[in-house]
Amino acid sequence: MGTKLIISSSPHLRSNEDTSTIMRDVVIALLPATIASIYYFRMGAVTVILSALIGAVLAEAITQKLMGKEITINDWSAIVTGLLLAFNIPASAPWWLPFVGSVFAIVIVKQVFGGIGHNFMNPALAARAMLLASWPVEMTSWVTPGPDAVSTATPLAIVKGVEAVGTAKPSIFDLLIGNIGGCIGETSALLLIIGGIYLIYRRVITYIIPVYYIGTVFVLTFLFGGFDLSNSIYHLFAGGLMIGAFYMATDYASSPVTYKGQIIYAVGCGVLTTVIRLWGGYPEGVSYSILLMNVAAPLIDKYTSPKVFGEVAR
């Protein structure tokens, strides 16, 4: 009877981790792929990354200053948004394109809705969708890795046959190490997976969304792709599936919080990605799939949240 019980207001479970620690871990997880993108795409990648980062940080600081809020650029969240947006842009893009995209992501998608934790969709993906709709030529001008930067098609476009018909598709090994054309963040699926495992190890994210998302794409591309195992494996490592599954679909603010909800959300992302890739007019479907499921996340949480103890039925 000597034990003392301390009564306090919620939250009762606390953690020493804060926003800056979590965001810094995300940057650390993305560093290997960032270095690989610079190695493959040289100054093109450097320009895109720096422009996106500068745009995101400036937009956050200026917007918060104008709105009379505390300036929180030291929490690394703007850095994460800028880096993720850069990963969704080709190395051939002009410097102003990622800059404009970062400003849109921070001001319109993030700060207008209340800042970090209040955005209803992933800011980087929303900005990518805006850039693709506004400047489709610049956003789809892919180049080969290396100093020559020759125009090329993405692996998924070659597989689908919408571009470069007859062109040999890159090998799975090339997809793993990043020696392919595409957005700078599509480079090296292996390094993106390693970074994702680091985030799971650090408990920044859980395995649920990445595993169910990737697993759904694998199963559906196998079933509807002629029961071709190699084709299913190719779909896993080509395009933006790895960066989407580990770094974007897991965004705290725009994904469900319940266990069942995360499974439904991840499977939905996988279904939409597969449908767009196999039957849509666009060879890649990761970004649009995640954005659509972001919008559905509150509804998913509503119907998967556990009943409150003592709740009276209406």
pLDDT in tens, 21-58: 999 999 999 999 999 999 999 999 999 999 999 999 99
pLDDT of res. 284: 87
In-domain check, residue 274: yes
CA distances from 143 to 40, 149, 204 (A): 10, 5, 33
Structure tokens at 115: 């800042």
DSSP 3-state of 160: helix
CB neighbourhood size of 169 (10 A): 18
List CB contacts of 149: < 8 A, sequence separation 6 or more: 41, 42, 44, 91, 92, 143
CA distance 179 to 237: 12
DSSP 3-state of 314: coil
pLDDT of res. 145: 80
pLDDT of res. 306: 80
In the chain, the N- to C-terminal Cα span, in Å, equals 41
143 forms bridges with which residues in the sheet? 151
Tens of pLDDT, residue by residue, the chain (314 residues): 455 555 554 454 455 567 899 999 999 999 999 999 999 999 999 999 999 999 999 999 999 999 988 888 899 999 999 999 999 999 999 999 999 999 999 999 999 888 888 888 999 999 999 999 999 999 988 887 876 666 777 888 887 766 555 567 788 898 898 888 888 988 789 999 999 999 999 999 999 999 999 999 999 999 998 888 999 999 999 989 999 999 999 998 899 999 999 999 999 999 999 999 999 888 888 999 999 999 999 999 999 988 766 556 66
In-domain check, residue 311: no
pLDDT of res. 140: 87
Q: Give the range of the structural domain holding residue 220, as residue numbers without chain letter.
A: 19-302
Q: Which of 296, 287, 242 is nearest to 268 (CA)?
A: 296
In-domain check, residue 269: yes
In-domain check, residue 1: no
Quote the number of domains for the chain: 1
Reported pTM: 0.89
Which tens digits make up the pLDDT trace of 209-223? 999 999 999 999 999
In-domain check, residue 14: no
Q: Which residue's structure tokens are 């409150």?
A: 308
List CB contacts of 121: < 8 A, sequence separation 6 or more: 109, 254, 291, 294, 295
pLDDT of res. 56: 96
User: What is the DSSP track for 167-210?
Assistant: PPPPPHHHHHHT-S-SBGGGS-HHHHHHHHHHHHHTTSS-SHHH
Amino acid identity of residue 53, one-letter, is L
pLDDT of res. 12: 47
DSSP 90: B
In-domain check, residue 174: yes
Structure tokens at 271: 């279904």
In-domain check, residue 310: no
pLDDT of res. 300: 94
Phi, psi (deg, nearest 5) at residue 183: -65, 155
**Peptide linkage before 98 cis (omega within 30 of 0):** no
pLDDT of res. 165: 52
pLDDT of res. 309: 63
In-domain check, residue 308: no
Q: Which of 122, 112, 93 is nearest to 26 (CA)?
A: 122
